Amino acid sequence: MIVTQTPEVKFALRAVQLAAQLIRQVQAEMASAALTKDDRSPVTVADFASQALVARLLEQAFPNDPLVAEEDAAMLRSPQEGERLEKVSAYVARLLPGARPEAVCAWIDRGKAAPAPRFWTLDPIDGTTGFMRGDQYAVALALLVDGQVQIGALGCPNLDLPGVPAAAGSGALVIAARGQGAWATSLDAPDRYARLQVSPCANPRQVRLLRSFESGHTNVSQVDEFARLLGVSAEPVRMDSQAKYAVLAAGVGELILRLLSPAKPDYREKIWDQAAGSLVVEEAGGQISDLHGKPLDFTTGRTLANNRGILASNHWLHPPALQVLRELGA
């Protein structure tokens, strides 16, 4: 592995690995037990346990670094959620002995911090629908300094990447550091690392489009039209979460699109949904922008307020993809 083992890199690897392994335990033992968010998207006990764990590890490693994360503990603090909170606390206590409900809620709420010149951002489970199906999901953690992603880490319990020295079924642990490449190893036995490199494909007909099962945040019919206009003939690769970015970085797909859903024309991406994966793609030789080709702007708070949608590619296909998006008026 060539990424310099700074304290930040070591922390990111350890935190993401432990959180992903804990989530996998919750999945095995609780299946699809879930809460409901205000926006009605599913969230599980594992979301809260993952965020509490990473937040506490961050507090121990870098006590002055803020955390900007997806969840807060308001729901868990309600009287009717006492049993749920006890379950979350019990899972966290497997790795942090002595974790109590009050402390667990406080750790979760560390994620309510505002972005700062230096901060971390976390999606404790990216791809909750994939989690509940037993399919792809990821823990995504990134360090940002002065609005630029410096470290991105992904823990993908169900992902096996080609060329990565890992036993089948062991999952993938991915790390990227700015200027030092993107690397992957086994989630369960992180020893030997393989460098990730995007596909050299430049022929639109051979493009493998990485598409989500979840359609709530995209325009499915417009994605279909995009593929037709670009001339794509290959079957798409379907999976949820930022695991798609790891797959793109490993050269097993060429394009990722997040078009705006007609039901949510003003939607803006959350920073924790893009920060870690964006650096993984870039450090593997790929390119990521919004639908107009603008670089992702992580200086506007908890959302990418200055960007519309997402286009990620192997770099070679970025110009023709942007041209088709212009034709579509996306």
Residue numbers annotated as active site:
47, 128
Q: How many helices (H) and strands (E) does the chain have?
A: 10, 14
DSSP letters spanning 165-196: ---TTS-EEEEEETTS-EEEEESSS--S-EE-
For residues 25 and 214, give the distance between their C-alpha atoms in angstroms, rounded to a whole number: 24
Token couple for 251: 């050269």
- Is residue 47 classed exposed, middle or buried when 0-12, 13-18 and 19+ CB atoms within 10 A define those classes? buried
Distance, CA of 201 to CA of 208 (rounded, Å): 10
Q: Is the dihedral of CA 302, 308, 309, 314 positive or negative?
A: negative
d(CA 106, CA 232): 48
- CA separation, residue 320 to residues 160, 202, 231 (Å): 30, 10, 11
